[in-house]
Structure 1
Amino acid sequence: MKLISRFFSYYRPHKRLFFIDLVCSFLISVCNMFYPMIARKIMNDYVPNQNLRLLIVWAIVMAAIYAVKSLLTYIVGYWGHVLGVRIQGDMRRALFRHIETQPFSFFDENKTGGIMSRIVNDLFEVSELAHHGPEDLFNSVISVVGALVMLCLINPWLALIVLVYIPFMLFFAIRARERMNTAFEESRKKIAEVNAEIESSVSGVRVTKAYNAESTETEKFDAVNARFKKARADSYRAMGMFQGGMSAFNDFLYLLALVAGGCMFYYGIISGPDFTAFILYVTMLLTPLRTLVTLFEQIQDGITGFRRFSELMDRPPEYEPAHPVEAALDGDIVFDDVTFGYKNA
């Protein structure tokens, strides 16, 4: 809870922009609700009654709604990402200044490539969470609740069929995501190792060339790169299983809605326009559900990155003394039996 509270503290300087982003996301969700509702009204009333005037009026209303939605989407897409970048910039500035206060032992125990990975890669994940996390969660919850309410208004029994199916879909999604996240976490560790190896090799390239050790450096890099490729392949295998399973669940939900709604339409329980609106709302329901499932991974990536960021920020700094003692040194410095290495290498 403390970690989450600390994360949201970075929103305070940008709370106005954050509020605008959430309001626009809410209005986009509201705009999405109109099309199935108006399509149902047109097919139920205006077309059978040959009311061309109201049909044209509602067509103009829908065009206006789409224009507003386009503007709102631009605001969310642009200013939402600006919000994430600003928060990322604040964190990166704070982290860089804190790293400058660390003692020499910190740089002895941590590879430069690993530090760079935390400053660049980890904070990028945090930036994506800062933008998409609250926005997608808010938008998806509003869309799911709104779609379920409209399904209940069309036909409670059809809505119940969908409600019974959704928990199985979410259970599979969460379990598959857990396996995929584990694989991608291992992949990210290997990326950090590759970055550290490249940084070490490039910074010491003069020494490598001086001692004609190019083949040794190449072998070391190839070994790290091979581990990265294997970890990446494992992560893509888990991702393929997740995407294949989710595709099957989505398709079977469409099939279930089509068969159940078709049977009720055949027996006269619902009308054709209601059946059409039902299918449209089921389609609308799947989009925020997929977004929520994706958000689970994004939250985990972002929180992992923020936790690594917090670990560095929580390291006590080492400040220079206010009144350093001047010392006159005289003599020789001798290096005898000196070794160098990283603590965890």
Structure 2
Amino acid sequence: MLRRFVRYYRPHIKLFIIDMVCALTISLIDLVFPLFTSRALKVYVPDQNLRMLFIAGGILLVIFAIRFMLSYVIGYWGHVMGIRIETDMRSDLFKKFQTLDYQFYDDKKTGELMTNLTTHLHDVSEMSHHAPEDIFISFVMIIGSFVILINVNLLLTLIVFVFLFMLITYSLSRRRKMLATFRKVRSIQGELNAEVESSLSGIRLTKAFTNEEYEQEKFEKINRKYRKARSNVFREIGLFGSGNDFFINLTNLALLVFGGFFVYKKYIDAIDLTQYFLYINFLIKPIQRLTNSMEQLQQGFSGMEKFMKIMEIEPEIVQKPDALKKENFRGEIEFRNVNFRYKQEDKAEQVLNNFSLKIPAGKKIALVGETGVGKTTISKLIPRFYDVSSGAVLVDGINVKDYDLFSLRNAIGIVQQDVFIFYGTIKENILYGKPDATDEEVVEAAKKAQIH
């Protein structure tokens, strides 16, 4: 999953490299500052060398100005990279939605799919920027400060890093539990959006049947479920954050106690201890940033899981490599011993059983029957929105499975049971059936529909 996600960085590799170079430079600057401080306190101040002290201060001022510009680059261009990755992922996901079969949408709710396209990918965008940067800075600071501090005192460095290791171990252990709660929230959030979408879409029907109270009860049920899931998330965030604060404070306490003891024994001096505190504080900053943004990172990771899960779905209705492309259909339709069920399971209800029918080209027929006997199903098998369980559907004597899907469906006109108007103007909706139609053809279609 991570390997596939990393591919989205490739078109924006320049921005990613700039972001990482800036992060590396900031880390090196943070590593240099305690060295300057130690040098000033150990050499320039005791020697009363004010000239070198001011020169060192001037150099640090320039370095901090550079750090300011690098932070701006990370803050702005890093987010631009995240937005571009989000846009690419959203385009791919929408394209995937266009290729998936009817079966996929039979079991999915519109609100849930919309959440995958919007909220989930926004969280992935934030994660794609912050996670690599903070993890990289933390890694550089840990390695760099460890190398520098072992040259001051190996034993004290090992003691301090034992507590830092405890902090990292605790963070990783709590992360797994946090991720589980975020997955639950993602699922329920989709249900909540689906409920809202369904209720608002059918608000006129709700009012016609005076079912406002019933709709409110349904909403409150899922709303309470979402509240409970979010409460579990915040419990984990609370445990994660407070635990990390505890181990950070414990690290500072250990440094104070053991460092004070080492100063007392003259293993190090007070200036070395100050250098330790500076490094620990610089080291903990990216770790604290990771801690504070852990909710965002976990949301991003669970959103990426949702994204990848959909992207891995393969459509069941696919055309053959040598599929037949045809433009001038005669219109002869034949159902030959067709058996069909919506779910290809033994226990699934059989909708059509050994159904046979032949319709000559140009003939008009009507299928009449009770609700649920399969009239709509029959019409959906002709353009191959579903594949038959057994038997065959033929158009002009050729199995629909042998046709190119676009040419087959493009030759079939369908009037849906439920009227649906796409977002846009009336003209744009009329053009949906033939995007290259002229204005005269649009007017003619409107007249035939008696809306002109």
2:142 corresponds in structure 1 to 144
- 1:171-320 alignment runs, 5 A limit: 171-291=169-289, 301-317=299-315
Q: Structure 2 counterpart of 1:230, which letter?
A: K
Instruction: Tell me how far apart the structure 1 counterparts of residues 127 and 24 of structure 2 sit (CA, whole Å).
Output: 18
Is the Cα contact below 8 Å between 2:182 and 2:299 reproduced in 1? no
2:30 corresponds in structure 1 to 32
Instruction: Tell me how far apart the structure 2 counterparts of residues 103 and 177 of structure 1 sit (CA, whole Å).
Output: 36
Whichever structure has more helix as a proportion of its residues is: 1
Is the Cα contact below 8 Å between 1:85 and 1:127 reproduced in 2? yes
Instruction: Tell me how far apart the structure 2 counterparts of residues 314 and 267 of structure 1 sit (CA, whole Å).
Output: 63
Instruction: Tell me how far apart the structure 1 counterparts of residues 145 and 363 of structure 2 sit (CA, whole Å).
Output: 78
Match of 1:48 among 22, 46, 49: 46
Q: Is 2:339 the counterpart of 1:336?
A: no
Is the Cα contact below 8 Å between 1:101 and 1:319 reproduced in 2? no
Instruction: Tell me how far apart the structure 1 counterparts of residues 363 and 191 of structure 2 sit (CA, whole Å).
Output: 41
Structure 2 residue matching 1:100: 3-state secondary structure: helix
Give, in angstroms, the shift of residue 329 of structure 1: 6.0
Q: Is 2:32 the counterpart of 1:21?
A: no
1:188-222 deviations in Å (ceiling 9; x for gaps): 22211111110111111111111111111100000
Q: Which runs of 5+ in 2 are unaligned?
A: 332-361, 374-452
Give, in angstroms, the shift of residue 291 of structure 1: 4.5
1:237-288 deviations in Å (ceiling 9; x for gaps): 1211222221111111111101111112122221221111111112122223
Give, in angstroms, the shift of residue 302 of structure 1: 3.6
Deviates more, 1:298-307 or 1:144-153: 298-307
1:5 corresponds in structure 2 to 3
Structure 2 residue matching 1:331: 3-state secondary structure: coil
2:376 corresponds in structure 1 to none
Is the Cα contact below 8 Å between 2:182 and 2:302 reproduced in 1? no
Instruction: Tell me how far apart the structure 2 counterparts of residues 243 and 99 of structure 1 sit (CA, whole Å).
Output: 38
Q: Structure 1 counterpart of 2:365, which letter?
A: G
Give, in angstroms, the shift of residue 300 of structure 1: 5.3
Give, in angstroms, the shift of residue 228 of structure 1: 0.8
Is the Cα contact below 8 Å between 2:179 and 2:302 reproduced in 1? no
1:323 corresponds in structure 2 to 326
Deviates more, 1:308-317 or 1:187-196: 308-317
TM superposition score normalised by structure 2: 0.70
Q: Structure 2 counterpart of 1:161, which letter?
A: I
1:59 corresponds in structure 2 to 57
Is the Cα contact below 8 Å between 2:86 and 2:121 reproduced in 1? yes
Deviates more, 1:216-225 or 1:237-246: 237-246
* Distance change >3 Å, CA 309–CA 213, structure 1 → 2: same
Is the Cα contact below 8 Å between 2:90 and 2:117 reproduced in 1? yes
Deviates more, 1:122-131 or 1:258-267: 122-131
Give, in angstroms, the shift of residue 301 of structure 1: 4.2
Whichever structure has more strand as a proportion of its residues is: 2
Is the Cα contact below 8 Å between 1:194 and 1:224 reproduced in 2? yes
Structure 2 residue matching 1:273: 3-state secondary structure: helix
Instruction: Tell me how far apart the structure 2 counterparts of residues 54 and 329 of structure 1 sit (CA, whole Å).
Output: 100
Is the Cα contact below 8 Å between 2:34 and 2:275 reproduced in 1? yes
Instruction: Tell me how far apart the structure 2 counterparts of residues 195 and 232 of structure 1 sit (CA, whole Å).
Output: 15
Is the Cα contact below 8 Å between 1:141 and 1:288 reproduced in 2? no
Instruction: Tell me how far apart the structure 1 counterparts of residues 306 and 237 of structure 2 sit (CA, whole Å).
Output: 24
Q: Which runs of 5+ in 1 are unaligned?
A: 340-345
Instruction: Tell me how far apart the structure 1 counterparts of residues 70 and 284 of structure 2 sit (CA, whole Å).
Output: 21
Is the Cα contact below 8 Å between 1:133 and 1:299 reproduced in 2? yes
Structure 2 residue matching 1:336: 3-state secondary structure: coil
1:14-63 deviations in Å (ceiling 9; x for gaps): 11111111111111111111221111110000000000000000101111
Is the Cα contact below 8 Å between 1:133 and 1:298 reproduced in 2? no
* Distance change >3 Å, CA 53–CA 329, structure 1 → 2: farther
Q: Structure 2 counterpart of 1:162, which letter?
A: V
1:99 corresponds in structure 2 to 97
Q: Structure 1 counterpart of 2:210, which letter?
A: N
Give, in angstroms, the shift of residue 101 of structure 1: 2.5
- RMSD of aligned C-alpha atoms? 2.3
TM superposition score normalised by structure 1: 0.90
1:151-201 deviations in Å (ceiling 9; x for gaps): 212211110111222232222222222222222222222211111110111
Is the Cα contact below 8 Å between 2:186 and 2:303 reproduced in 1? no
Instruction: Tell me how far apart the structure 1 counterparts of residues 9 and 237 of structure 2 sit (CA, whole Å).
Output: 32
Instruction: Tell me how far apart the structure 1 counterparts of residues 109 and 70 of structure 2 sit (CA, whole Å).
Output: 44
Deviates more, 1:32-41 or 1:323-332: 323-332
1:284-305 deviations in Å (ceiling 9; x for gaps): 2222334556787766544432
Identical positions, percent: 36
Deviates more, 1:110-119 or 1:316-325: 316-325
Deviates more, 1:38-47 or 1:158-167: 158-167
Which one has the largest radius of gyration? Answer: 2
Instruction: Tell me how far apart the structure 1 counterparts of residues 87 and 46 of structure 2 sit (CA, whole Å).
Output: 58
Q: Structure 1 counterpart of 2:71, which letter?
A: T
